[in-house]
Structure 1
Amino acid sequence: MVVVRACRVLRFPGRLTPSDLEAAAEPVRVEIGEQALRGIRDCRAYVDEVVASGRPVYGATTGYGSLVGYHPRPDPAEQSQGLVDFLATGQGEALPPAVVRAMLLARTWSLAQGRSGVPPSVVSALVDALATPLAPVVPEYGSVGASGDLTPLAHAVAALMGRGEMFVGATRLPASVALERAGLAPLTLAGRDGLALVNGTSLTSAAAGLAGARALRSVAAGLALSALLAEVLGAGHEFTSERLLRAAGHRGGIDAAGYLRERLRGATPSGRRPLQEPYSLRCVPQLAGAVLGAARQATEVVTTDLNGVSDNPLFFPGEGEVVHGGNFFSQPVAFAADLLSIVLTQLANLAERQLDLLMDPHRSNGLPASLAAEPGRQHGLTGVQITATAIVVAMRRAVTPAAMQSIPTNQHNQDVVPLGTQAALSAYEQARKLRWVQGSLAVALRQAVHLGGREPGSAAGSELLARLAERVDPVDPDRPLDVDVRRAAGVLDELPTAPLAG
């Protein structure tokens, strides 16, 4: 049997946040309020009434996509099943289970708003799955972010029906076996259930939401590392001046400088550094502040999307309306996700240059070259720097915007597409890579102090250095450091972000 641990409770109606998406990596309990359940039931009854009247309803009385002018199968259940079948064509590596579970949570939130015409049993099936550790196996490629994330969601729906595969932790099992072990009955479809389940941008908004949450932690990590770098080098703190940043006027920069000042409280400059530091230190409030502002803006767009209804058509029983349109088109999130990819890459540029500053004895107040305990006999963090550089280059290459890479498909039914899914998954991947670059800088700072760099005088810097020292030993003699970089990244994940949430 699948063991379910204690889980977070999410209540609908309520505002879904990127933090909730992260929580869904583990079992979560979603509670749907009675009024919302009534709305779901009423909408389903209205859909049945409209279809019975002979009124045309896309996907219920018609074929799908470019075949809208053709008649559907007489049996609505077979029509729904056929939709899942012909869309389950994804290719590539399986998406991380945390992303897939976040996608299911986002789809639950959309359907629970009672505009899609599914019965409560469909919403309950998603809720029940989220309360377990299960995650459908969903291939990476298949969506252009228009008409919803059709193919990824079709694979997820198929798994909930007992077809395909599911992850239970790191184990990959036939979906039927995983459902049985979790005590879940396979999902059954009727009416337009299949279309309602796949016709939304839930993967796009979920992946972008996870990237947005990660971006906030990355800003906190970048600022904390910059403050520690200033202490290790003995740099002055003038670059964090509140008056300076308020004169510029950008809220992100003001908040970033405030975060730096708080972390530098108690620190004392050495007086031995140049009047003006390199931009990789002097301009941190401006750079990280711009990242912070952009991340906040992008996350606001994504959060709006998470709490909207993504489907077509939408049903409004109280007004007696069926409205056909394009609420499956992921353009807002596509732009937001591309912005996240860009700003995350600039944080990686900053961390890599700060790492280089520490490695160069001519700019580091005489720290040993390459942070080696015995330069020449040992090579310190040479390999770490080369790998960090390679990761930054990979991030730069991946940052090409996706949101305007439109290409027609589906016999020109989808003649302009936003490619939001690829934009969102790229942002999610950029966030993952940035952790490694910032982890590399963290290892370098720990090594710099070991080799004679100034001990931090601030409480925040001392605490961060102590936590790094607990997980990363000094490099003397040389040893493989791949695991150390990931351990250091884990320390950075634990830094406080509340002052930056905005």
Structure 2
Amino acid sequence: MNQQANVVKVDGDQLRIEDVVSIARKATHIQLTDEALHRVRASRAMVERMVSQQQVVYGITTGFGKFSDVMIHDEDVSKLQENLIMSHACGMGDPYAVEVVRAMMALRINALAKGYSGIREETLLQLVELCNRGVHPIIPQQGSLGASGDLAPLAHMVLVMLGKGEALVNGKRLSGKEALSEVGLSPIRLEAKEGLALINGTQAMTAQLCLALYDSRVLLESAELIAAMTIEALRGIPKAFDPQLHLVRPHPGQQESAKRLLQHLSGSKRTTAQGELRVQDPYSLRCLPQVHGATRDTLEYVWTTVTRECNSVTDNPILFTETGDVISGGNFHGQPMAFAADFLAIAIAELANISERRTERLVNPQLSGLPGFLTENGGLHSGFMITQYVAASIVSENKVLCHPASVDSIPSSANQEDHVSMGTTSARKLRTIVSNVSKVLAIEYLAAAQAIDFGSGDLGTGTARAYEQLRRVIPRLHEDREMHPDLVKAEELIQQGTLAFVTE
């Protein structure tokens, strides 16, 4: 994807997850390429021919879902599309965050830019302008079954294009009509196929997966650096990360995690040799490459799968301008995204599970040889006692959330749509899990730094920088104080990517 001067050039084929995140979080603008607009025009011409020739085509001259056998008269073709949006905009619950909405809009624009959906150029440009001018539709989170795509969420997005619904503009919640007027736009009228083209897709689930994936990659790199700090605090044995060991079990993620741990610990005077203090470390230290590496491999698989989905056509029916074929199929079905979200949820949650066990080792004097709960005057002060409780609580919550939504299905539309993916549910809870993992890592980060303060000797190349980053904003704990602000600051360092790139 060509990204220059805060603009992402969208052609339907090369959108990266990084581009989606940039549009979502940095208000990067979208510009359609000439090639994409040419394909859009050709696809639209095909729709116009079908309407003029009164061909029977699902969603263009027929009703939807169970009503697919109902023919629509010429004079009602436009009304059909507006009715579709109005009837489908029935989501419930709290609205999605602006970053999710922007990601959703970007992904739908990219899918339509491929030129298989029959939308008019001016309609697509209206959606581009909404995103570029900061008009963010209010989209309730509940209501998608993940097939036919994300109908209800995307319908709420389209409402604002019509001057209906609600949107946020510069932090103000306005009616759709007011929101358009605020940025110098006017409502549009949908023509044949356009309502269906705009809402039949997997963009709500894919948007959340893009954001969760990006954040998960940051968390993984942070988790390895924080774990390296704990290894030093507990005088662990880095021999377990020797490349020889990982060559004979050559999972790429395992090898990469072992390599990074050794880089972080390079030059450390805090670690020990095999047999110096103990022959082997506990699993939460010794098996870091195997556990983190499995998460790393999962991330790579999901990254590839989601990138493919970002550049896919998930509409129905699909128009093939080269052959003239109009094919009804099931590309809107979110099963690939549902599996990907559930798989990533399990993998990323494990970073927190093993982190919480390391935190327990840090605060438990019988396991660490350090002052109990990392406080200098135990009894009068409780130190890090309850932070471990909090970590235990959060990882337990994640275990519930990790139950895969994709194992469920429920029939809908009078049993016409008799199998669904639940992919948007998978993606929503994945985002919660990712947020929870960052909190658990923040607890270990703070505890590891406190434990390091009780020792002596040079830290490793990476761990020294990570320790310094934390101590710039959070002082050592000498006596009990409110821990919440410290934990929030530590979490912010992690979420901002401060640790993910500290050794690069």
TM-score over 0.5 for the pair:
yes
Query: 1:244-278 CA deviation, whole Å, 9 max, x = no partner?
Result: 01111111100111111111111132456422111
Cα distance, 1:455–1:10 mapped onto 2, change above 3 Å: farther
- Are the counterparts in 2 of residues 8 and 23 from structure 1 also a CA contact under 8 Å? no
Whole-angstrom CA distance in 1 between matches of 2:502 and 2:213: 16
- Are the counterparts in 2 of residues 232 and 454 from structure 1 also a CA contact under 8 Å? no
How do residues 117-132 of structure 1 correspond to structure 2 at under 5 angstroms?
117-132=118-133
Partner of 2:309: 305
Cα distance, 1:114–1:14 mapped onto 2, change above 3 Å: closer
Partner of 1:76: 77
Answer yes or no: is 1:332 the counterpart of 2:336.
yes
Answer yes or no: is 1:367 the counterpart of 2:351.
no
Whole-angstrom CA distance in 1 between matches of 2:360 and 2:7: 42
Cα distance, 1:470–1:499 mapped onto 2, change above 3 Å: closer
In structure 1, list runs of 5 or more residues that go unmatched. Answer: 1-5
Cα distance, 1:48–1:184 mapped onto 2, change above 3 Å: same
- Are the counterparts in 2 of residues 378 and 477 from structure 1 also a CA contact under 8 Å? yes
How do residues 198-213 of structure 1 correspond to structure 2 at under 5 angstroms?
198-213=199-214
Indicate the SS of the match to 2:45. helix
Query: 1:31-78 CA deviation, whole Å, 9 max, x = no partner?
Result: 212122111011101111012212211111111111111133633221
How do residues 122-271 of structure 1 correspond to structure 2 at under 5 angstroms?
122-168=123-169, 170-268=171-269, 269-270=271-272
The TM-score normalised by the length of structure 2 is: 0.94
Cα distance, 1:474–1:133 mapped onto 2, change above 3 Å: farther
Cα distance, 1:174–1:476 mapped onto 2, change above 3 Å: farther
Answer yes or no: is 1:445 the counterpart of 2:448.
yes
Larger CA deviation: 406-415 vs 8-17: 8-17
Whole-angstrom CA distance in 2 between matches of 1:170 and 1:359: 43
Whole-angstrom CA distance in 1 between matches of 2:399 and 2:381: 31
How many Å apart are 1:454 and its aligned residue?
Answer: 4.0
Larger CA deviation: 469-478 vs 396-405: 469-478
How many Å apart are 1:374 and its aligned residue?
Answer: 1.7
Partner of 1:432: 435
Aligned equivalent of 2:388, options 385, 389, 407:
385
Indicate the SS of the match to 2:366. coil
Whole-angstrom CA distance in 2 between matches of 1:379 and 1:445: 16
How many Å apart are 1:388 and its aligned residue?
Answer: 1.4
The TM-score normalised by the length of structure 1 is: 0.94
Partner of 2:53: 53
Answer yes or no: is 1:322 the counterpart of 2:326.
yes
Partner of 1:3: none
Whole-angstrom CA distance in 2 between matches of 1:354 and 1:381: 13
Partner of 1:460: 462
Whole-angstrom CA distance in 2 between matches of 1:438 and 1:8: 34
Query: 1:231-251 CA deviation, whole Å, 9 max, x = no partner?
Result: 222222111111101111111
Whole-angstrom CA distance in 1 between matches of 2:499 and 2:365: 32
Larger CA deviation: 369-378 vs 237-246: 369-378
Aligned equivalent of 1:395, options 372, 375, 398:
398
Partner of 1:354: 358
What CA RMSD, in Å, does the superposition of the two structures yield over aligned residues? 2.0
The count of corresponding residues between Structure 1 and Structure 2 is 494
Runs in 1 of length 4+ with deviation above 4 angstroms? 495-501
Indicate the SS of the match to 2:476. coil
Identity percentage of aligned residues? 32
Larger CA deviation: 188-197 vs 11-20: 11-20
Partner of 2:412: 409
Partner of 2:425: 422
How many Å apart are 1:7 and its aligned residue?
Answer: 3.3
Cα distance, 1:185–1:471 mapped onto 2, change above 3 Å: farther
In structure 2, list runs of 5 or more residues that go unmatched. Answer: none
- Counterpart amino acid of residue 339 in structure 1: F
Query: 1:182-232 CA deviation, whole Å, 9 max, x = no partner?
Result: 233334311111110000011111111221112211110111111111122
Cα distance, 1:171–1:279 mapped onto 2, change above 3 Å: farther
Whole-angstrom CA distance in 2 between matches of 1:384 and 1:324: 54
